[in-house]
Structure 1
Amino acid sequence: MLRALAVALALTASCAHAETPCGGSFSDFLAGLKAEALDRGIAPATADRFLASVQQSRAVLNRDRQQGFFQAPFLEFSRKLISQNRLERGLDLARQYDAIFDRIEAEYGISRGVLLAFWAFETDYGAFQGDFNTADALVTLAHDCRRPEIFRPQVFAAMELFAQGAFDPARTTGAWAGEIGMVQMLPEDILENGRDGDGDGRVDLKTSAQDALMSGAAMLADLGWRPGEAWIEEVRLPEDFDWYEAGLETEKSVADWAAMGVEPRDGGFDGSGPGASIVIPQGRNGPAFIAYPNFRVYFEWNQSFTYVMTAAYFATRLEGAPIYEAGSPSPGLSGDEMVALQERLQARGYDVGGADGILGAGTRAAVRDVQRELGLPADAWPTRALLNRL
């Protein structure tokens, strides 16, 4: 799940058809897409051929509405996604593609574990790249009125790829949200960051691991990855740690965290300088990490905190880090309990972004604040005890 789920791309202000970006008759919507394509300079024949076979996909809409997998807490989610077999397979592929990883590290300063983790989680190292028709998926989600501003530009990017001979609207398949290839990139990202990693003169993200890895690295660099720097590292926190200081909202230098008693679990700190945060994905009784500035780049790839935390952690495992110290965090809330908590937080004036049952950044921040208000340890981890107090 790349930037389709992470970045709300604004429609071009000058677009003559931006007033009606979604909904209505599907045939009328296709006509509107063609008209906008012509305004963008796409040849009429290209737009006609691209749209000729497009159909609305109910299966895509169903998947868009059913993303409960990302509601699992970090420990549960990470244990599901990180198996010994997946770890060993990643290490084998690191050796197999050592040359391209060396090239990526030299050109972009991105460690191989980072790309291996995305490759693993997005498509199980290329084995399952999705069988949804990509053109159908993009047009369906552009027509749907939930997030048209994200997907409508992707339709025109796919048309550009089609004009270049790099996309077949009738045959190109991928994930339900329109991503393509081994590391799942959207058409705009392919246009901007597609790279020929194997030297055959074309970019093929579905069958060339070198192309996919090189393109993924280019995209991370474009998103702001800081070359040669770490992303997260497991730490141990002192007993008197101020839990309200944890969370991505608070940034300090590594030296300041060390002065507060934060210690790396294994050896010295991997990072230095400002902009580091302490992350406790399941509260004060669970594992703890120091997050460096590169960790924030992950949220440009996917906005799910649980996914990001797991991908970043798996990247460290692929580079030799030990299994985290799980601790004994309090049980999390069910989906219905989370909705009830969010409704009660909203009633107290907190903006949690809606009662959707997902523990996002807004809910975590509200939980942390209300915990402090109630005199509880403000670790941003919602529990049944907190729900009962509210």
Structure 2
Amino acid sequence: MRFLPFTIALALAPLSAAAQCGGEFSNFVLGLKNEAISAGYDQKTVNDFFRGVRKDQKVLNADRAQGVFQKPFIDFSRRLISQNRIDRGQAMSSKFDSVFRRIETTYGIDRGVLLAFWAFETDYGAFQGDFNTRNALVTLAHDCRRPELFRPQIFAAIELFSKGDFDPNKTTGAWAGEIGMVQMLPRDILENGVDADGDGHVTLKTSAPDALMSAAKMLSELGWSADQPWLQEVRIPEGLDLSETGITNKRLISDWRAKGVQPRTGDLPFDDMNAALILPQGHKGPAFLAYPNFDVYFEWNQSFTYVLTAAYFATRLDGAQVYDAGQPETGLNGTQMKQLQQRLQAKGYDVGKIDGILGAKTRQAVQAEQSRLGLPADAWPTPELLNRL
């Protein structure tokens, strides 16, 4: 176990019950300053960090407008994956081959995995975001939706500032405070940043080696198992018990093989490895086996659709063929999905926020109701299910 210095450990502690969000923004900032000083940072460092800080309404607007995640997997993946991105990924693989070799030797993480994140997060570094990172973090911590996530990031940014690796007035990134080519939060940079190019600084905005090695270290720390698969396209047999599918229903590979699940190409690895059978758009659409490393993706991003698309794109960059889209049944639009979530919630299911997004909790509730109603329990909601409810 790696221990942090006392001042950093205190600054990165989870949000306490006494810590406040909301209220007057100036009072909130004053509270942050006092907490930083109590954590051991000197007055000048604290004043320099917070000088000119302001609430950014554009950050809040972006936080509340993530409609892209309402798109189903096929639409979402086709939007994000293009031949141009594949070609550029292959070019980047060649350009930074020595870095990827170091990563594969040190962490056992396939280059396709990192290339996919690099592509989706910033289009290989081309679009890293122009939001002031300090302002974004303070704004989101002041907002009371997820202060427990963003407040600790402020103190991590102060620590990076004290090391000379963060400029509160010039460091920019995504609206949610992520920085650099692979979009890492300050706390992740502090804990997993790697000076891969040897210049004495962790510079994720301009150094591809730093960004890629840091992302690899972070995935390793999150639990990535070296030299193991993460996702594989498969075909499912007629008559499969669909209630056994879903990200939380894991079976041994040998069990899936015995049930008639077969890889679309190649072979299934490791009979004694657990895997979940994922049907992102029901039993008539694409099918994938998700191996243990797939779960690590959710530590990077909470969106099921994003995670599956990133994992699938990584396999494409490694040479996998385009998935068989099949002929999925018609799904629900955003309004219908919200209606579905409301009806499921009324039946006692925890579907999280009513947001029109088919997330993990909604999928589990859908599958349970499909089983109850005698419908194919593949976790893909259809107008028929909505009407039956």
TM tier relative to shorter chain: over 0.9
* 8 A Cα contact 2:235 2:262, kept in partner: yes
- Structure 1 residues 15 and 376: CA distance shift in structure 2, 3 A: closer
Q: Does structure 1 residue 60 correspond to structure 2 residue 56?
A: no
Give 1:270 shift: 4.0
Name 2:265's counterpart in structure 1.
266
- The whole-number CA distance in structure 2 between the counterparts of 1:126 and 1:386 is 43
Name 2:308's counterpart in structure 1.
309
- Structure 1 residues 115 and 271: CA distance shift in structure 2, 3 A: farther
* 8 A Cα contact 1:63 1:176, kept in partner: yes
Deviates more, 1:260-269 or 1:102-111: 260-269
Give 1:11 shift: 9.4
Name 2:74's counterpart in structure 1.
75
The amino acid of 1:48's aligned partner reads N
What SS does structure 2 have at the residue aligned with 1:266?
A: coil
* 8 A Cα contact 2:10 2:39, kept in partner: no
- Structure 1 residues 32 and 299: CA distance shift in structure 2, 3 A: same
- The whole-number CA distance in structure 1 between the counterparts of 2:20 and 2:210 is 33
Matches within 5 A, 1:180-329: 180-329=179-328
Q: Structure 1 residue runs of 4+, over 6 Å off?
A: 10-17
Give 1:13 shift: 11
Give 1:169 shift: 0.4
Give 1:368 shift: 0.3
* 8 A Cα contact 1:122 1:183, kept in partner: yes
Name 1:381's counterpart in structure 2.
380
* 8 A Cα contact 1:15 1:39, kept in partner: no
Deviates more, 1:40-49 or 1:79-88: 40-49
* 8 A Cα contact 2:11 2:155, kept in partner: no
- Structure 1 residues 261 and 173: CA distance shift in structure 2, 3 A: same
- The whole-number CA distance in structure 2 between the counterparts of 1:62 and 1:246 is 36
- The whole-number CA distance in structure 1 between the counterparts of 2:120 and 2:197 is 23
* 8 A Cα contact 1:198 1:211, kept in partner: yes
- Deviation readout 1:174-208 (Å, 9 max, x if unpaired): 00000000000000000000001122222110011
Percentage of pairs with the same residue: 63
Name 2:153's counterpart in structure 1.
154
* 8 A Cα contact 2:153 2:185, kept in partner: yes
* 8 A Cα contact 1:234 1:324, kept in partner: yes
Tell me the C-alpha RMSD between the 2 structures. Answer: 1.6
Name 2:4's counterpart in structure 1.
none
Give 1:17 shift: 7.2
- The whole-number CA distance in structure 2 between the counterparts of 1:271 and 1:188 is 35
- The whole-number CA distance in structure 2 between the counterparts of 1:270 and 1:313 is 17
Q: Output the TM-score relative to the length of structure 2.
A: 0.95
What SS does structure 2 have at the residue aligned with 1:117?
A: helix
- The whole-number CA distance in structure 1 between the counterparts of 2:353 and 2:207 is 41
Name 1:4's counterpart in structure 2.
none
* 8 A Cα contact 1:364 1:381, kept in partner: yes
Give 1:271 shift: 4.7
Q: Does structure 1 residue 358 correspond to structure 2 residue 374?
A: no
- The whole-number CA distance in structure 2 between the counterparts of 1:157 and 1:212 is 18
Name 2:33's counterpart in structure 1.
34
Name 2:330's counterpart in structure 1.
331
Q: How many residues were matched structurally?
A: 381
- The whole-number CA distance in structure 2 between the counterparts of 1:272 and 1:156 is 45
Give unmatched runs, 5+ long, in structure 1.
1-9
- The whole-number CA distance in structure 1 between the counterparts of 2:15 and 2:354 is 35
- Deviation readout 1:59-92 (Å, 9 max, x if unpaired): 0000000001111000000000000000000011
Q: Output the TM-score relative to the length of structure 1.
A: 0.95
- Deviation readout 1:227-269 (Å, 9 max, x if unpaired): 0100000001111111111111111111111111111111112
- The whole-number CA distance in structure 1 between the counterparts of 2:13 and 2:350 is 33
- Deviation readout 1:338-373 (Å, 9 max, x if unpaired): 111111112222221132211111110010000010
Name 1:125's counterpart in structure 2.
124
What SS does structure 1 have at the residue aligned with 2:251?
A: coil
- The whole-number CA distance in structure 2 between the counterparts of 1:11 and 1:332 is 47
Give unmatched runs, 5+ long, in structure 2.
1-8
- The whole-number CA distance in structure 2 between the counterparts of 1:50 and 1:275 is 47
Greater RCO between the two (CA within 8 Å, min separation 6)? 1
Give 1:274 shift: 2.9
* 8 A Cα contact 2:298 2:307, kept in partner: yes
Name 1:6's counterpart in structure 2.
none
- Structure 1 residues 16 and 279: CA distance shift in structure 2, 3 A: closer
What SS does structure 1 have at the residue aligned with 2:233?
A: strand
The amino acid of 2:223's aligned partner reads G
- The whole-number CA distance in structure 2 between the counterparts of 1:217 and 1:149 is 25
* 8 A Cα contact 1:50 1:159, kept in partner: yes
